[in-house]
Amino acid sequence: MRERLNHIGQQLVMRPKRIAPLVTFRILFGALMAFGAIRFMLQGWVEKLYGEPVFFFKYPGFQWVPVLDTPGMYAVYMAMAIGALLIMLGLWYRVGAVLFFLTFTYAELTDLTNYLNHYYLVMLLSLWLIFLPAHRRFSLDVWRKPQWKKTHVPAWCIHMLMAQLAIVYFYAGVAKLQPDWLLRAMPLAVWLPEHANLPVLGRLFALPDLPFLFSWFGAFYDLTIPFWLLWRPSRPLAYAAVVVFHALTGILFNIGLFPLIMISSTLIFFPARSHERWLRNLGYAAGEYKHVYQIPASAKKAIYTFLGLYLAVQLLLPLRHWLYPGSVLWTEEGYRFSWRVMVVEKNGHATFYVEDPATGRRSEVDHQVYLTDFQAKQLAIQPDFMLQFARFLRREYQRQHNITNARITVDSYVSLNGRPSQRFIDPDIDLASSKNTWRHRDWIHPLTQP
Question: pLDDT tens for residues 203-214?
Answer: 888 888 999 999
Provide the pLDDT confidence category of residue 3 given band limits of 50, 70 and 90: low
**Residue 410, φ and ψ in degrees, nearest 5:** -140, 140
What's the pLDDT score for residue 300? 87
What's the pLDDT score for residue 333? 95
Residues 6+ apart with CB under 8 A from 68: 50, 75, 76
Distance, CA of 357 to CA of 362 (rounded, Å) = 9
Distance, CA of 127 to CA of 132 (rounded, Å) = 9
Distance, CA of 179 to CA of 450 (rounded, Å) = 9
Q: What is the mean pLDDT of the chain?
A: 93
Please write the tens of the pLDDT for every residue from 24-56: 999 999 999 999 999 999 999 999 999 999 999
- Of 336 and 251, the one with more pLDDT: 336
Residues 6+ apart with CB under 8 A from 282: 138
Please write the tens of the pLDDT for every residue from 392-428: 999 999 999 899 999 999 999 999 999 999 999 999 9
What's the pLDDT score for residue 114? 94
In the chain, the amino acid numbered 289 is Y
Share of the chain above pLDDT 70, in %: 98
**Per-residue pLDDT at 431 exceeds 80:** yes
Distance, CA of 376 to CA of 57 (rounded, Å) = 11
What's the pLDDT score for residue 310? 97
Average pLDDT over residues 110-139: 96
Please name which of 75, 33, 20 lies closest in space to residue 274, comparing C-alpha atoms: 20
Residues 6+ apart with CB under 8 A from 280: 286
Please write the tens of the pLDDT for every residue from 164-191: 999 999 999 999 999 999 999 999 999 9
**Per-residue pLDDT at 5 exceeds 70:** no
